[in-house]
Structure 1
């Protein structure tokens, strides 16, 4: 709502709701405002948006679209105090047109014609969303997930980055996450999926999942907690390391946990969360092994730990660049 009259109309709607039993003074002031040029049309638009939002509020696809619209708005600007119905009305106005591009039939799944809702994060951001079925989705830095729920299946497509899925239990529809050629099917569980250009990694925190590869015949791979599956052009492998799945999903709490990783791998993870970027200048430094836990996006404690505990030098430059080299 960028039109001042629309903002005033929204404020009046909230005020009238609060002051229904407060006497005629508020109503008289509203009538005076409403009579001014352009205000009647603004009031009608806000009233229609509220009515439409209320009538569609409980529809699963409307809820999903509204979550996506509000998430995009929250990522794009700083939060401001608004009434909850204003968020719903604004989201409703933004997604009414896409809703008309979905077609439903009795006892049949929705036919997707328009794009499904998309959740995304920019570099350095993290986003948590409660989905329409009560499941929770947490996105890591620079990630993108497309929601494609139907009447028969709860499907999410990880198009880029990393996400933690905490699946609501006791649901009739299967919960499926697709990343590249891999499809992960879960029932009441928590698992982390990472989609890199050359590999897909699935780490199972709790519950049971099965992973199938598109175009490959045979049984899906059944995973148990602490299994970490990696799928690449070289094939599919599974490792079982106690505590590893929790470590790999620790980013969801704002931490990066390194357990005997090479310094090159650790630096690559730190760089995913934005500036300043770190470069390793020689292979010897890159091969050093590191263990520890660090806050995502907080580079200085990471560099301090390196300088104190490893045979490296850290150089910082006026342009913001940072290099790490072996001590000579």
Structure 2
């Protein structure tokens, strides 16, 4: 059961989404939304509603969407009860369709959402009703649901390997903090680790796109990629999707065998992976270390000695603190 805080946050996300879809947003509302969206939990809640809305495109012409239109009459939303100015017909229709779809999404038995999680150093393989398999890495949380039009996974956090059963009539969608992956049948990794989202392909073809909310400005960066085996892309923070040169991350799915292999990878990414297997916290105490490049092979059962291994190959100092917290600093630096 959702906590009162989560329900309130989802209610806020829903109100903001309807307001933005109305087409009339004041400067004050724009600034208020950007402040609200800057909170990671708020952004995730908003993106979930955005993905539900995008799913309407796949339902065009379907009996389900026709029924939804009839059950969500615009006149029901032509009021100021939302706390915003009246939305007008187009905004009201958007609100009605969205709210109707959210109701169906949450309560219709045929679109039940299943959640799976793993703990520190845990791993789990889930077989879906269509025959697809999802292998969850350590400290991972996913939400899964299926409709007649598509198969959906929300990677809330962590790392997952997907082996998708082919079904041209029902694409397989994976969402991860504003990045959406679309496939018909293939094998690939998706990682959602704090500020970094990464997609790597092992087999087949994968389409990756970045989803932006309507207030984000247009960018000259590439928003869509078509990936093939051995290729990978990532998005760091609020930046654009970027191809990873020389595939500086391990081969998609290799981690399932307990092997962490890196070639010319950022130290920040290696630390993020290590923390999924470490009963504590490893942090970089200096931002300059984040982009340090490392090449190494490590087993997941060696994480306890991982900081010492780094200390032998990099000019760093390892400081152990209470609560099994490890701070890595440039050599010669003392922790604050």
When normalised by structure 1's length, the TM-score is 0.56
| 1:241 is the counterpart of 2:246 | yes
| 1:185 is the counterpart of 2:178 | no
2:294 to 266, 283, 290: 290
- State whether residues 257 and 294 of structure 1, in contact with CA within 8 Å, keep that contact through their aligned partners in structure 2: yes
Could you tell me which residue of structure 2 aligns to residue 251 of structure 1?
255
- State whether residues 223 and 240 of structure 2, in contact with CA within 8 Å, keep that contact through their aligned partners in structure 1: no
- State whether residues 206 and 225 of structure 1, in contact with CA within 8 Å, keep that contact through their aligned partners in structure 2: yes
Aligned residues: 221
Q: Higher Cα Rg: structure 1 or 2?
A: 1
| 1:228 is the counterpart of 2:225 | no
**Aligned pair in 2 of structure 1 residues 126, 169: CA closer, same or farther (>3 Å)?**
same
2:153 to 153, 156, 162: 156
1:327 deviates by 4.5
**Aligned pair in 2 of structure 1 residues 149, 267: CA closer, same or farther (>3 Å)?**
same
| Secondary structure of residue in 1 paired with 2:279 | coil
- State whether residues 160 and 191 of structure 2, in contact with CA within 8 Å, keep that contact through their aligned partners in structure 1: yes
| 1:207 is the counterpart of 2:192 | no
When normalised by structure 2's length, the TM-score is 0.55
| Secondary structure of residue in 1 paired with 2:146 | coil
**Aligned pair in 2 of structure 1 residues 266, 189: CA closer, same or farther (>3 Å)?**
same
Could you tell me which residue of structure 2 aligns to residue 198 of structure 1?
195
Could you tell me which residue of structure 2 aligns to residue 139 of structure 1?
136
| Secondary structure of residue in 2 paired with 1:145 | strand
1:160 deviates by 1.9
- State whether residues 294 and 301 of structure 1, in contact with CA within 8 Å, keep that contact through their aligned partners in structure 2: no
1:143 deviates by 1.6
Alpha-carbon separation, structure 1, partners of 2:254 and 2:183: 20
| Ranges in structure 2 where 5+ consecutive residues have no aligned partner | 1-61, 66-103
1:296 deviates by 2.2
| Secondary structure of residue in 2 paired with 1:293 | strand
C-alpha distance after superposition, 1:239-267 (max 9, x if no partner): 3535x564354332222222223444433
| Secondary structure of residue in 1 paired with 2:270 | helix
Residues 43-122 of structure 1: pairs in structure 2 closer than 5 A: 111-114=104-107, 115-122=112-119
2:306 to 302, 316, 326: 302
| Secondary structure of residue in 2 paired with 1:151 | coil
| Secondary structure of residue in 2 paired with 1:221 | strand
- State whether residues 198 and 233 of structure 2, in contact with CA within 8 Å, keep that contact through their aligned partners in structure 1: yes
